[in-house]
Amino acid sequence: MENRIKHARPHVTRNEALIFERTSPGKSGVELPPLDVPAVAPEQVLGQDLVRSEIEGFPEVSEVDVIRHFTRLSTWNYGIDTGLYPLGSCTMKYNPRINEAVANLAGPATDHPYAPEPLVQGCLKILAETADCLVEITGLDAVSLQPAAGAQGELTGLLIIRACLEDRGGARKYVLVPDSAHGTNPASVTIAGYQVRALKSSDRGCVDPSALAQAMTEEVAGLMLTNPNTLGIFETEIREVCRIVHAKGGLVYMDGANMNALVGVARPGAFGVDVMHLNLHKTFSTPHGGGGPGSGPVAVTEALEPYLPAPVVERSADGTYRLYYDRPKSIGRVRAFYGNFGMAMRALAYILAYGPDGLRQATEDAVLNANYVMTRLEDLYDLPYNQPCMHECVFSDRRQAARGVRTGDIAKRLIDYGFHPYTTSFPLIVPGAMMVEPTESAGKEELDAFIDALRSIAQEIEEDPRFVLKAPHTTRISRLDEATAARKPVLRWKPT
Ligand SMILES: *Cc1c(COP(=O)(O)O)cnc(C)c1O
């Protein structure tokens, strides 16, 4: 295997030349049907200045050229439908196709969001039942499906905390955030008008109750923590942590992006959390990547329910549903319409298809898979927090860095072996972090192949680190200037 990968070189065949460079004057890829309406000159409709007689550099190609161009581009991509996508913290699990079928049902998929309530009873019922399921799963009392992503859920939850504390007579100044937190946490705290106070993690990688007790003053609105945390470790002191925050009149926000480790096994409401968000696009299998769509429902205790975004879906005694706006304590709307309705439908389909036992099984498989990867690689890769993990495990590149090879280089080499890289350099408290989240979607054969690839790369680093430093070797483009690619992306072809 190793040799094959070493010698494979990308070769751009004639077929792969970009379509735009294959233009041939007079060729056409479309055959329009005869007009069945009176012909109107475009100038008459658009005005002379909006009509151009020619598009500069526009390729003239045949239908088969166009089909081949787009089919080829689609094969240059890598997604969860192509192979393992162990991007830690992102829960890149398989999106079951049944969810898509359900979300595309005529009716819910096509109803206008402003349709009168009597005509969209089915949609409102779907929203109400999705919220009910999430109440059950989180152990909290009420859910809003409005937020469009995890980060917006964080902001919504913090604004709820703020509104509640102001009601209780004291706006506070700070929110405690562990140093292992996802970058969105401090950002949300700041946007919600609080100041961040970082909380140093213990040697075990967890919140240290005595450090928390010191930091938790009456100026502090609460604690924002992720459980399991971003090291993939369950906060075993969570009950004590919540008690300390509550004793000082603060509230506990849980970043629920890692719920794939808990669904059906543990409920945050039961261990003392007041408000949390869920990422439907992670834990509940709705598709994500490439910027959207997302859905970040927020779950709260009964005491915080009055502050949830308006409107909420209400079920009347006669079994009908309505959108209820008259909520004087609500923080207001955080998103248009009903949130990302299609994502709620997909999540509900997923939850109902699995049922309680299936959801629990998925969680247990996700945890098992991560522990399997951790155990089979710990002899070759450093484990800074060496203990059983939850749904993801975090190695560091310490041993490989001694040979000059860093986490990003190993990730690039994984591409040659046909895998999407793990998450590099996060969480920040692990220098050279390599964060692997296989999810329950990966079968044992696939995990073994991934493990073999990382084992083989470790050996390559011993034998020839420079070769790994130049990876990937099999892709059309090797290393991008990532900063420039992010800041000045070239997203369309232009005639030269
Ligand atoms: C993904 C993630 C978020 C942010 O969620 P988005 O939906 O991307 O906004 C927050 N915290 C953690 C730990 C995450 O993994």
* Cα–Cα distance, 446 to 440 (Å, whole number): 11
423 lines ligand 1 (CB under 6 A): no
Domains and CATH numbers, the chain: 14-76 (no CATH), 97-353 (3.40.640.10), 361-487 (3.90.1150.10)
> E strands along 88-190, which residues?
142-144, 174-178
Is residue 182 lining ligand 1, measured as CB closer than 6 Å? yes
What is the number of other CB atoms lying within 10 angstroms of the CB of residue 53?
A: 4
Ligand 1 atom 8: residue of nearest CA: 150
Q: Quote the ligand 1 centre to 61 CA distance (angstroms).
A: 43
- What predicted TM-score, i.e. pTM, was given to this entire model? 0.91
Write the pLDDT tens digit of every residue in 350-392. 999 999 999 999 999 999 999 999 999 999 999 999 999 999 9
With the most atoms of ligand 1 within 8 angstroms of its CB, the residue from 87, 182, 439 to mutate is: 182
Alpha-carbon separation of residue 24 from 57, 68, 176 (angstroms) = 11, 16, 63
Torsion of CA 131, 137, 141, 147, to 10 degrees: -50
Answer yes or no: is the C-beta of 257 below 6 A from any ligand 1 atom: yes
Question: Cα torsion at 140, 146, 150, 153 (round to 10°)?
Answer: -60
Task: In whole angstroms, give the CA distance from residue 172 to residue 194.
Answer: 8
DSSP secondary structure letter of residue 34 = P
Closest residue CA from atom 4 of ligand 1: 150
In the chain, the amino acid numbered 488 is K
Nearest protein CA to atom 7 of ligand 1, as residue: 150
Q: What is the pLDDT of residues 261-317, one digit of tens each?
A: 999 999 999 999 999 999 999 999 999 876 668 999 999 999 999 999 999 999 999
Q: What tens digit of pLDDT does each residue of 6-24 get?
A: 544 444 555 555 667 778 8
CA of 296 to the centre of ligand 1 (A): 9
- Reduced to 3 states, what is the DSSP secondary structure of residue 32? coil
Which residues neighbour 463 within 8 Å (Cβ) at sequence distance 6 or greater? Answer: none
Distance 182 CA to ligand 1 centre (A): 7
For the beta sheet containing 433-436, the strands, ordered from the edge strand earlier in sequence to the opposite edge, are: 393-396, 433-436, 423-424
Span from the CA of 51 to the centroid of ligand 1 (angstroms): 45
Q: How do strand 312-315 and strand 195-199 relate by DSSP bridges? A: unpaired
Q: Identify the segments of the chain with pLDDT beneath 70.
A: 1-19, 290-292, 496
CA of 185 to the centre of ligand 1 (A): 9
Is 340's C-beta closer than 6 angstroms to any atom of ligand 1? Answer: no
